[in-house]
Chain A
Amino acid sequence: MSAGDGPAGSAGNAAAVDRTPVADADVCVVGAGPAGALVADRLAGDREVVILDAGPRFDPADRLARQERAIRPSYGRPDVWDVGGARDAYENAGSTEWDYPLNHARVKGVGGSTLHWQGMVMRLHEDDFNSGAERGAGPDWPIDYADLRPYYAEAERELGVAGASDNPYAPPREEPHPMPAFEPSHSDSLFAEACEAVGIDMHSVPNARNSEAYDGRSACVGYGTCQPVCPSGAKYDATVHVERAEDAGATVIDRAPVERLDHDGDDRVTAAVYATPDGETHRQEADAFVVAAGGVETPRLLLLSASDRYPDGLANASGAVGRFFMDHLFAGAGGTLDEPTRQNHVGFYTSACDQFYDEADETQAPFKLEFFNYAGPSPVESALTGDDWGDPLLERLRGEYGNHVAMGALVEQLPDADSRITLADDRTDDRGNPIPEIDWTVGDRALDTIERANEIQVEVLEELGADVEWVAGPDATGPAYHHMGTTRMSDDPDRGVVDADCRTHDLENCWIASSSVFPTSGAMNPTLTIAALALRVGDDVAGWLGDRT
């Protein structure tokens, strides 16, 4: 593929691929992102596993061309991984000020959104699991940090996490990270002096990116385009576990959007009904089903599966399917120094501050601070815009690049039943199914906390001697593309969609592996928790299948 090839470039020879159902499947997994991949890998070998994904199997040889798309100005973020079009149509409700750019926030295909993620992998804090009891805000999870702790450790090994134990605010851990942390950047060293002066602790940050060769993948080679594409494979993506599951005998059917889940009269899912590029529709039957389609498509699929027995959608006796849609809010500030800051050599950050995270209470959300290594323009991207070339262009690039600094922050938003995913009334996708409609709202606790994060950021930048040029506050915030909450976990079937094992209350053979089960979001990037929960789901499914034989 070349950069200019159109979306069809990903399609491959669609007609030559066998996309018919697998006979006698034990487990059908819907979604080949990190959650589905880890569940499938957990179960493959011992069980007959099928993975269905709406998107294609991307050719690894195309990654440089996708990187070129990431750099060239004529391509938007969704173009990099061929997101968009009728398959991915969605709409915002229009009734709120919070439009959600869904197709910037996801990738459909084998690997899912880990293909374009940045790869930051923190554990949630202990209080995140008990937000109601400890902070007076939101529900408690039906599980504690201790329940997930061994799975966190395993998830770190599975993904390959580079980290250190220098973070005094991190939750307890029993073993080091699998790889040493990435060393601090030059700009981190500049920030360190300012942070010390104002009493702020900096520490390393865990990356799902190889700081040394790991699991057959190379160490990071510094392409600097981690988000949205890592050509070297040093950044973890879920193709790792999809391929491992396939090696163990699992079957992957790509370009196979699941349109509904069928059930019998005994509250069991019987088949995933999926479409294929040839226009056919198939039924994949299995003993157990794991829905792992992310925070938007997971509730959409359950709603699309409404039946006479379940008129409000599958697994929706609580009415919570699609509700409590959350994301993390971005807060940031940046400016320039009068010295070189060496930005944009890599596309990830190496230092953070969790010092204020557990100050959270009813009025202040948990938040974490990030010290960027990619502040200001990237010269190569900047070179491709503007009406200059030759020496004037070089002079412009020299003027733009070199002395930027910036800090970011992620802030928790509380779950709100009115922040939700529903099915659009009158618009359908390329298969004639109602598209998701997003009605995202953000409450005052998050907005006030963004201001608090901004205050700290500006204080640090001013101590650093920066000319502060921008602040992304409550009026300029946006989502971090972490979809959460839409099939929340609860012990109470009237208040949640899945139980503490992530199994749906209403259907005994259906699990959900996704950040959609998070009752609250914390402010840590969700993928490590998604991975830990997925491994736990894998064990629960294995146990359930084992009990039946």
Chain B
Amino acid sequence: MELTRRDAAAALAALGASGGVALGARVAADRGRDAGGDSGGDGTGDDAPADDETVRETLTAVAAVVYPDDATGVEEFVDGFLDGRLDGSAHAAGVREAVAELNRLARSWHGGAVADLDPAVRDRHLREVGADIADEDPDGTTAERVRYYVVNELLLAFYASPTGGELVGIENPQGHPGGAESYRRGPR
């Protein structure tokens, strides 16, 4: 099952690319965060939010764990999705911070950034962080924020896309503007 740019675009259409960028940037600036996108660190500093490249590498690596095994085209899908999500909003800032935290813990516990870990170790790391049993919360603990900004960010994009939905049996999943015809059709 191949994820495509179309799926990434569909996920963005469902979840929003840059809606309210100006407002988001203002909120981020109010919080003293870097809303610029490219000028952040690589997540290796104590508090530095992750830069674009680090976010893309990390989320692609996490996607390889949280997406079904036979999903292909994951890197392109995540890239395309993040093209819209990594704007100047408070949400994007939250993603950068959660990625930086996840990588900091990975270095401390496993000796390398998430993207450099073996997939089995990556899976274990996410569970050690607590992201598997945590309820997502953008303002919560590390586990809750990793669940919100990393794990669920990816699962939301995937299962709101036509390809992800179709794997479950629904080609027009909630959040995807797939038209008002599919509900009338019987199973194929």
A contact set with B: CB distance below 8 Å: 1-6, 8-9, 12, 59, 61-65, 67-68, 71-74, 182-186, 189, 211, 219-225, 231-232, 339-340, 342, 344-347, 350, 373, 378-381, 383-385, 387-391, 393-394, 397-398, 401-402
Contact = CB atoms under 8 A, between A and B. Distances in A.
A9 B20 contact: yes
B187 A211 contact: no
B127 to A, nearest CB: 9
A104 to B, nearest CB: 19
A347 B148 CA distance: 25
Interface string B149-188: 0011001101110000101111011111111111111110
A164 to B, nearest CB: 15
Contact of B16 (A68, A183, A350, A397): A68
B43 to A, nearest CB: 19
B183 A373 contact: yes
A398 B16 contact: no
B48 interface: no
Given A73-B135, A223-B14, 4 more contacts: A65-B19, A74-B138, A340-B169, A391-B68
Interface stretch (B49-57, B88-96, B106-114): B88-96
A397 B169 CA distance: 9
Which 10 pairs between the two chains have the least Cβ-Cβ distance?
A2-B91, A64-B16, A345-B183, A1-B20, A2-B89, A389-B66, A221-B177, A340-B187, A224-B174, A4-B138
Contacts of A393: 66, 68, 155
Contacts of B176: 222-224
B24 interface: yes
B46 interface: no
Contact of B175 (A71, A184, A339, A387): A71
B135 A67 contact: no
A217 to B, nearest CB: 14
B65 interface: yes
Contacts, number: 198
A117 to B, nearest CB: 17
Contact of A389 (B87, B132, B136, B156): B132
A380 B94 contact: no
Interface centre among A183, A224, A344, A390 (most CB of B within 10 A): A224
B68 A62 contact: no
B184 A184 contact: yes
A185 B183 contact: yes
